[in-house]
Amino acid sequence: MDIPKALKPFLDEDGRLTAWPAKHSKKRIAVEYLASKIERGERFTESEINYILKLNHTFGDHATLRRELYVHGYLNRTTDGRSYWRTEK
């Protein structure tokens, strides 16, 4: 995924999010960016999703990022939360 211009101020030199945008439009771009880091067609445990998210941000709130991916429809899970997967959007 090419990095959108609006997201660049929120990324460090390694492409990790350094802050969560306040504006909804920029949050949406950030969620899409994070979703691109999760492989389609694979199942993940919550720990594995957390690990992927931790690798891609620096502000220490993987739970919020996981929730945002779910709320925006980029990530789905089983009802017991044991298995996660990237959805087709």
Mean pLDDT in residue range 62-84: 97
Which tokens belong to 72?
Answer: 């925006």
Give domain limits for the chain: 45-89
Tell me the pTM.
Answer: 0.92
Q: Which residue type does 78 have? A: T
pLDDT tens digits along 33-51: 999 999 999 999 999 999 9
Nearest to 69 by CA among 54, 57, 45, 85: 85
Q: How sure is the predictor about 2, in pLDDT bands with cuts at 50, 70 and 90?
A: confident
- Identify the pLDDT of residue 32: 96
Give Cβ neighbours of residue 1 (< 8 Å, ≥ 6 apart): 32, 33, 36
Mean pLDDT in residue range 78-89: 93
